[in-house]
Structure 1
Amino acid sequence: MDLEIRKRELVKEFSPMLKKSTKTSKIWIAFLIAIILVGVVAFIIQAVKGHEVTGMRDNVVWGIYIINFIFFVCLSYSGAFISGILHFFKTPWKNSVMRIVEIITVLSLIIGPIFILLCIGRLDRLHYLFLYPRIQSPITWDIIAILTDLIGCFIYLYLTFIPDFAILRDNSKKAPAWRQKLYKKLAIGYYDTPTQREKLHKITRTMSAMIIALAIIAYSVLAWIFSLTLQPGWNSSIFAPYFIVAGLYSGIGVIIIAMYLIRKFYHLEHYIRKIHFIGAGVILLVISLLFGYFTFSEYFSRWFSHKTHDVNLLNTLFNRYFWMFIFANYIGVIAPIIILFFKKFRTIKSITFAAVIAVLGLWFNRYLIIVPTLETPYLPIQDSRPEFIHYSATWIEWALSFAGVAAFILFFILIMRLVPIIPMSGIIDHEREQKRHPKNLTQNQK
């Protein structure tokens, strides 16, 4: 009986997040929809007029669409890896961040591949990738990896939602009829019996182990698309681990930013506490050191080799993209290290600021990997106009990029309207375990 009372209390506590729409939230949602509509207009213009409305030309055939694709996909793989790892920890603080990480993972895997479609000139031939795949091509394996990871992460996310769907089904009598029916269907007959709980735990544990492996394999395949290409700056043997570390770097940063915004907007200070930010900040510090090491190794070996094409690429970076290079590889790495290294700087706001710098720095780092390399090919096109050699994104590309970010945030908000961002089942499991082993859990909290 006490358990049922506790479930009703949690539903009552989190109900405002699911139902109530404040004036600020309505304005924010309207703003996101407006950005998406501008992106739809930009897409229609691009579909009608072709890629001539973008900055992509003969030399630079990839632009910020590919950069956004890499960024979102690396965010999804890092989220899958982190959520899989967190599932194996028994510390109570993981409950407050697990769902944030899981939602980021799935949404990134949905939004990211859309940018690949925007980069394809002939979408009417898209089905050929599936009808006539070349098994020798890394792109074919990348498609397989993304689809497999998307299915696996979606199943994993749904499995973690089932206990909360059951709680909402049994304790949301005042909710609209459509919401009650939806919770009933999504709960699929789960009633939190010991047998069901044990089976769900085993399945979720197995899935968490699988998505860790999928994350490593899938992002390695994406890195091989570049490293197996004979282009200056891409043909590198360390690209796979470099991409994995970069993915974790961006993933931790976005998770910290999401925690800060959700904590502030929904007043969840009781659940998302300073310990979460300090823990994430320390992880970001370690990853930033690794990312800095890989970045230094990549550029130093290229500079020291004295190969003509590497020298040309470095000249492009230091001349045309000097300030972007400084921000991406110096400020974007050193600033988070300085902020997070000293304990007195590890406040919630300073850790979030370091995360923002890290995420922006990583996006520009992806830009420097793609664009300068394509602007300095092995065989440059002679007597071409500068706009055909150099790349500059148009408003069409920026509009679609911001529309992708807006869609990511909007879907995140809509999911939070369906289930609480703090898993109620996790709170109940923690309290149940606390009654069984009060001493051990008290020590873990300390």
Structure 2
Amino acid sequence: MVVGTRPPVSRDIGVLAAGWRYASISDKIADLVLTRRAGWRWWLLFLTTLGGTLVFFSASAYLFAVGVGIWGVNIPVAWGFAIGNFVWWIGIGHAGTFISAVLYLLRQRWRTSINRFAESMTLFAAGIAGLFPILHLGRPWFFYWLMPYPNVMELWPQWRSPLVWDFFAIATYLTVSLLFWYVGLLPDLATLRDRATTRFKRYAYGLVALGWRGEARHWARYEHAYLLLAGLATPLVVLVHSVVSLDFAVGNTPGYHSTIFPPYFVAGALFSGFAMVLTLAIPLRRVFGLQDFITARHLDDAAKVVLVTSWIVLYSYAAEIFTGFYSADEFDVSITIERWSGAYAPVYWSMLACNVALPQLLWWRRVRRSVPALFVISLLVNVGMWMERFLIVVSSLHRDFMPSAWGMFYPTFWDWVFLFGSIAFFVWLFLVFLRLLPAISIAEMRLLVDESATEGGR
């Protein structure tokens, strides 16, 4: 794209309308990695989250030495923050796969500006989620017993254990997501290699670019591989969180034993995942000046998905209440009323406010186009979805079948350390990603500009 030449305007991407200001799209995106210096705000956030990450791993080491007794878990609430955090992080990772794979197969152009950092968000969130079941094992150094590998003692995993299901679900999800993310990066890695200003960067990016030269045969193989991985990743959007929901649904505990859990969990995952996409996209476009790439239309489309999935989540809440009373099972009725008026009622009503009432503001276009409003709504949705996971895990366990076995869960200092430490670790990984790799796909953005220019010239 030549400076001074105004390209045709397209409703798919705002950069076309302002393209005359940039020598090329490659310059704008690649320079964020290669030449732009990190400001003091970035360093402040980086060092703060690095400190939180070190605290998280220090707390993990202390947990290994002392045991899970430092948490508030007890009998009957043997699952606490750790499993709630696990389900929450897995849900956040779902939006990246949905945006990258499902919307790619549906040929949705608006995914182009947000798919790269959404895919990275998926990898970081799924990786952090995989840590919590291991930390919760009690003896985490034996986590490899979950893997079906030949050994002299002929010990094999217990296939009826949800821990084994989680191991395969997360491992498959991470593997396919990582391959999909890496294959999509190859053309951009070659761009960074060719534009790098130091020998070290040229060698580093050249090594991971796998010899990409942009030849016709490279593009042909790239498109076949990318399409194949998109086809493999699409079922994972439904399968992975369905498997996680079965951790609960297979049990007879009141509040767990529900056939609606798989679709309920998948909808909730997309709900929280798209909210996290907005939470990351809004400061990203502001700090790095990417308003021409991540436009108001992209935020508007993501907000519409949040609104739709909020109604699916609302339907799931209503269906769960209806089936509890319709079954006439005294234990299901009791746990439903307990959530309304029991010890954890404030959490329940706060969850409804964040997940049901607040997203209804997105019916108004003015709210969907208001960046501050979208940021606040997306943050509170993620808070509400964490509360939902807490209620599912804790409130169902603390009131079981026998009153003599009832108990309360009180989070300790270490429960909060692991929650906020994992959030710091996630933000730190995202900040590192922004400095090392392009947050927006250069190759797909250029292709979109070419397609839009061709359509505009017709």
Q: Once the 2 structures are TM-superposed, how far is the Cα of residue 124 of structure 1 from its aligned partner?
A: 2.9
The 5 Å alignment of 1:14-413 reads 14=29, 15-19=31-35, 20-90=37-107, 92-130=109-147, 131=149, 132-172=156-196, 174-175=197-198, 177-317=199-339, 318-337=341-360, 339-346=361-368, 347-381=370-404, 389-413=407-431
1:17·1:266 contact (CA, 8 Å) conserved in 2? no
- Per-residue CA distance 1:229-285 (angstroms, 9 max, x = gap): 110011001110101111111011111111111111212111111111111111111
More helix by share: 1
Residues 18/60 of structure 1: CA separation in 2 closer, same or farther (3 Å cut): farther
- Which residue in the other structure is 1:438 paired with? 456
2:398·2:408 contact (CA, 8 Å) conserved in 1? yes
In structure 2, C-alpha distance between the alignment counterparts of 1:171 and 1:18, rounded to whole Å: 8
In structure 1, C-alpha distance between the alignment counterparts of 2:34 and 2:395, rounded to whole Å: 46
In structure 2, C-alpha distance between the alignment counterparts of 1:377 and 1:402, rounded to whole Å: 29
2:193·2:202 contact (CA, 8 Å) conserved in 1? yes
In structure 1, C-alpha distance between the alignment counterparts of 2:109 and 2:324, rounded to whole Å: 46
Q: Once the 2 structures are TM-superposed, how far is the Cα of residue 71 of structure 1 from its aligned partner?
A: 0.8
Q: Once the 2 structures are TM-superposed, how far is the Cα of residue 291 of structure 1 from its aligned partner?
A: 0.9
In structure 1, C-alpha distance between the alignment counterparts of 2:323 and 2:434, rounded to whole Å: 46
- Which residue in the other structure is 1:443 paired with? none
For structure 2, which runs of at least 5 residues remain unmatched after alignment?
Answer: 3-18, 150-155
Where 1:268 maps in the other structure, the secondary structure is coil
- Which residue in the other structure is 2:446 paired with? 428
1:11·1:171 contact (CA, 8 Å) conserved in 2? no
- Per-residue CA distance 1:115-139 (angstroms, 9 max, x = gap): 1122111123222222421233343
Residues 139/380 of structure 1: CA separation in 2 closer, same or farther (3 Å cut): farther
1:78·1:244 contact (CA, 8 Å) conserved in 2? no
Q: Once the 2 structures are TM-superposed, how far is the Cα of residue 219 of structure 1 from its aligned partner?
A: 1.5
2:100·2:115 contact (CA, 8 Å) conserved in 1? yes
In structure 2, C-alpha distance between the alignment counterparts of 1:78 and 1:280, rounded to whole Å: 10
- Per-residue CA distance 1:411-442 (angstroms, 9 max, x = gap): 111111122212111222123334543357xx
Q: Once the 2 structures are TM-superposed, how far is the Cα of residue 49 of structure 1 from its aligned partner?
A: 2.0
In structure 2, C-alpha distance between the alignment counterparts of 1:319 and 1:203, rounded to whole Å: 53
| Matched residues, number | 430
Where 1:393 maps in the other structure, the secondary structure is coil
Identity fraction in percent = 24
Where 1:437 maps in the other structure, the secondary structure is helix
In structure 2, C-alpha distance between the alignment counterparts of 1:331 and 1:141, rounded to whole Å: 31
Q: Once the 2 structures are TM-superposed, how far is the Cα of residue 80 of structure 1 from its aligned partner?
A: 1.1
1:257·1:355 contact (CA, 8 Å) conserved in 2? yes
2:267·2:312 contact (CA, 8 Å) conserved in 1? yes
Letter in 2 for 1:154: L
Letter in 2 for 1:398: W
Letter in 2 for 1:142: D
Range with bigger deviation, 151-160 or 418-427: 418-427
For structure 1, which runs of at least 5 residues remain unmatched after alignment?
Answer: 441-446
In structure 2, C-alpha distance between the alignment counterparts of 1:351 and 1:394, rounded to whole Å: 32
Where 2:114 maps in the other structure, the secondary structure is helix
1:100·1:421 contact (CA, 8 Å) conserved in 2? yes
Letter in 2 for 1:168: L
In structure 2, C-alpha distance between the alignment counterparts of 1:63 and 1:210, rounded to whole Å: 33
1:227·1:239 contact (CA, 8 Å) conserved in 2? yes
Letter in 2 for 1:13: K
- Which residue in the other structure is 2:10 paired with? none
- Per-residue CA distance 1:152-207 (angstroms, 9 max, x = gap): 100000011000001111121x13x3221111011111111222112201210111
1:415 to 433, 439, 448: 433
Q: Once the 2 structures are TM-superposed, how far is the Cα of residue 62 of structure 1 from its aligned partner?
A: 0.8
1:328·1:365 contact (CA, 8 Å) conserved in 2? yes
In structure 2, C-alpha distance between the alignment counterparts of 1:241 and 1:90, rounded to whole Å: 24
Q: Once the 2 structures are TM-superposed, how far is the Cα of residue 304 of structure 1 from its aligned partner?
A: 4.3
Q: Once the 2 structures are TM-superposed, how far is the Cα of residue 290 of structure 1 from its aligned partner?
A: 1.0
Letter in 1 for 2:141: D
Q: Once the 2 structures are TM-superposed, how far is the Cα of residue 13 of structure 1 from its aligned partner?
A: 2.5
Where 1:126 maps in the other structure, the secondary structure is helix
- Per-residue CA distance 1:296-341 (angstroms, 9 max, x = gap): 110232144442212332343222111211111244212111x111
- Which residue in the other structure is 1:444 paired with? none
In structure 1, C-alpha distance between the alignment counterparts of 2:32 and 2:174, rounded to whole Å: 30
1:259·1:272 contact (CA, 8 Å) conserved in 2? yes
In structure 2, C-alpha distance between the alignment counterparts of 1:305 and 1:402, rounded to whole Å: 39
